[in-house]
Amino acid sequence: MDMDAIFLARIQFAFTITFHIIFPSFSIGLAAFIATLLVRWRMTGEERYRTLARFWTKIFAVSFAMGVVSGIVLSYQIGTNWARFSTVAGNVIGPLLGYEVLTAFFLEATFLGIMLFGWQRVPPNLHVLSAILVALGTSISAFWILSANSWMQTPAGYEMKDGIAYPVDWFKIVFNPSFPYRFSHMFTAAYLTTSLVVLSVGARYLVANRFIEESKTMIRMGLGMVAILAPLQLFIGDAHGLNTAEHQPVKVAAMEAHWDGSKPGELLLFAWPDAKAEKNHFEIGIPHLASLIITHRMDGLFKGLKDFKAEDRPPLIPVFFAFRAMVGIGLLMIAIGFVGAFLWWRRKLFDSTWYLRPLTYAWPLGFIAIIAGWWVTETGRQPYLVYGVLRTLDGVSPVAFGAVLTTLILFVLIYTSVFSMGIYYINRLIEKGPQGAAIASGGDPSVGAHPLTAAKDAARSALGTGE
């Protein structure tokens, strides 16, 4: 396989996995949010919780479907694009993915049926339990897939024989050195992302004077999570960074565009790293701050890019800038949480339009940060597929250039059109808002029982066609 085909295979995989990650990171948090709403409804008997649970379940269904179909693609693309990798790392990675299917995918996919269609088909407690099981499934799924990914970053518990990895200690494989950090970081990110979406949607309604009770509940729950999780994420991210500095120093050097390991690193607010000239242009930085962050000492030294051979360095531009995007959004989230908590404490939260109005546009922030974070860690792992074990160039499938190019074009066309439609429909559901009254009053049973029927009716009336 020639270099161009390898490059296309990488683009294709990066494209499909970037698209995919949007949906599970939303589903993980949203499933937990819906389960929480349903539990609170059962405990307090307050109808607004159930109204909100129904509303978000409709959105969950659309988002989950997109996650499922883009996920199936990935479970086969490891083979279509990375057949050599499958052979070399299959003994280790395969069982982790196998356990993901067995412990998570079946659980969430099966109980999703009851969660979506069982509102009146099963007793309420069983329905709530189904929502909890779906949430549990999404979390277990994150556990295994992050374990597999972490093993590719910091492989452990294996031995190489004739160029193939054989498992030696499964505990060390599953709980490899970067896994606890990556898992906490991603899991918190998923919750944070969903919380911000909930907060943003709540703000959208309140600013527009719609669904007052529901929007206040959403703002309180969303903001509460953001205020706690955003600062917490700073500490988790810091710990994750220290772990990366220990196991993948070249990735950290690329994140900071730090060339000379014999000098303390400055924190670059902006720079244009030049891989050929081995230096940065247009540097704006704060001296010693990178050393302080990475080594927790003002004059601490950490390895620079020049400490590694040029062919062992990752691409600098995406790693450097994606890292800044992620951290920047993280700091913005901390600010959102802090200001919001302050307003809440002063009892001005629901009247502070200057705060709520910009928040209505804040919903994509978490997704952007997650994608940026994954670009940092995945691009930062290059030129390796399994860090230090298998180079990306040696992991590809023997597939021809034309075939990869054709399918890449198809993926781009189909994903962008299908998933744009999905986001359009989600936006339409949000525009329509929670439909509580008909359900609360017992109204038309078909509306209550079938979230999609409810969605259909909603769409009909929204388009003014009636039925």
Instruction: Name which position in 25, 57, 70, 435 contacts other proteins (CB under 8 A).
Output: 70
Query: CB-wise, 118 or 177, nearer to other proteins?
Result: 118
Pairing of strands 390-391, 384-386: antiparallel
- State the nearest-atom distance from the C-beta of 13 to other proteins, in Å: 12
352 binds other proteins (CB under 8 A): no
* Amino acid type, 327: V
C-alpha to C-alpha distance for 351 and 206, rounded to whole angstroms: 9
Regarding 256 and contact with other proteins (CB under 8 A), the answer is: no
Residues numbered 185-204 forming contacts with other proteins, rule: CB under 8 A: none
Cα gap 151→155, rounded to integer Å: 4
Q: Which of 11, 17, 122, 339 binds other proteins (CB under 8 A)?
A: 122
The single residue among 7, 106, 235, 270 that binds other proteins, judged by CB under 8 A, is 106
- Nearest CA to 176 among 232, 87, 247, 99? 247
Adjacent-strand bridge partners of 166: 159
Q: Is 66 in the site for other proteins (CB under 8 A)?
A: yes
Q: Which of residues 284-313 bind other proteins (CB under 8 A)?
A: none
Cβ closer to other proteins: 281 or 460?
Answer: 460
Select the residue interacting with other proteins from 18, 86, 139, 392 (CB under 8 A): 86
The 10 Å CB-count burial string (b at 16+, else e) for 231-255 is eebeebbeebbbbbbebbbbbbbbb
297 touches 310 (CB < 8 A): no
Segment 132 to 171, residues that bind other proteins, using CB under 8 A: 166-167, 170
Residue with tokens 């270099």: 3
Which residue, among 133, 138, 136, 143, has the nearest Cα to 113 in the 3D structure? 133
Binding segment for other proteins among 178-186, 200-208, 363-371, 444-452 (CB under 8 A)? 444-452
Look up residue 168 and give its DSSP letter. Answer: S
At closest approach, how far in Å is the CB of 185 from other proteins?
25
Residues 6+ apart with CB under 8 A from 341: 223, 227
Q: 162 — phi, psi (to 5°)?
A: 50, 40
What 3-state class would DSSP assign to 405?
helix
83: contact with other proteins by CB under 8 A: yes
Q: Are the beta carbons of 137 and 107 closer than 8 angstroms?
A: yes
> According to CB under 8 A, which one of 39, 109, 234, 289 is a site residue for other proteins?
109
Q: Minimum Å distance from CB 246 to other proteins?
A: 28
Window 41 to 60, contacts with other proteins (CB under 8 A): 58
In angstroms, how far is CA 429 from the centroid of its own chain?
22
Minimal distance in Å, beta carbon 32 to other proteins?
Answer: 19
61 interacts with other proteins by CB under 8 A: yes
Q: Which stretch, 97-105, 210-218, 308-316, 351-359, contacts other proteins (CB under 8 A)? A: 97-105
**What phi and psi, each to the nearest 5 degrees, are found at residue 267?**
-85, 115
73 belongs to the binding site for other proteins (CB under 8 A)? yes
Q: Could you give the C-alpha distances from 154 to 32, 59, 191, 249, in angstroms and in order?
A: 29, 36, 25, 12
Among 11, 14, 39, 84, binds other proteins (CB under 8 A): 84
Give how far the C-alpha of residue 24 lies from the chain's centroid of Cα atoms, to the nearest Å: 6
Residues of span 380-439 touching other proteins by CB under 8 A: 397-400, 402-403, 407, 410-411, 414-415, 418, 421-422, 425, 428-429
Q: Write down the least CB distance from residue 113 to other proteins, Å.
A: 3
Q: Count residues binding other proteins (CB under 8 A).
A: 85
Closer to other proteins at the Cβ: 337 or 434?
Answer: 434
Residue 282: CB atoms within 10 Å: 8
Which residue number, 222 or 451, has a Cβ lying nearer to other proteins? 451
* Shortest separation between residue 407's beta carbon and other proteins, angstroms: 5
Say if CB 261 and CB 307 are below 8 A apart.
yes
**Stretch near other proteins under the rule CB under 8 A, chosen from 45-53, 70-78, 243-251, 356-364:** 70-78
- Cα separation, 331 vs 352, in Å, equals 21
Contacting range for other proteins; rule: CB under 8 A; set: 24-32, 194-202, 309-317, 446-454: 446-454
Q: Which of 102, 160, 335, 409 binds other proteins (CB under 8 A)?
A: 102
d(CA 265, CA 256): 8
Residue 101 binds other proteins (CB under 8 A): yes
Task: Select the residue interacting with other proteins from 14, 47, 117, 391 (CB under 8 A).
Answer: 117
Buried-exposed string 94-113: b where 16+ CB fall within 10 A, e elsewhere? ebbbebbeeebbebbeebbe
98 binds other proteins (CB under 8 A): yes
State phi, psi for 167 to the nearest 5 degrees.
Answer: -70, 140
Out of 92, 196, 199, 255, point to the residue binding other proteins (CB under 8 A).
92
Contact segment (CB under 8 A) with other proteins among 177-185, 224-232, 297-305, 445-453 equals: 445-453
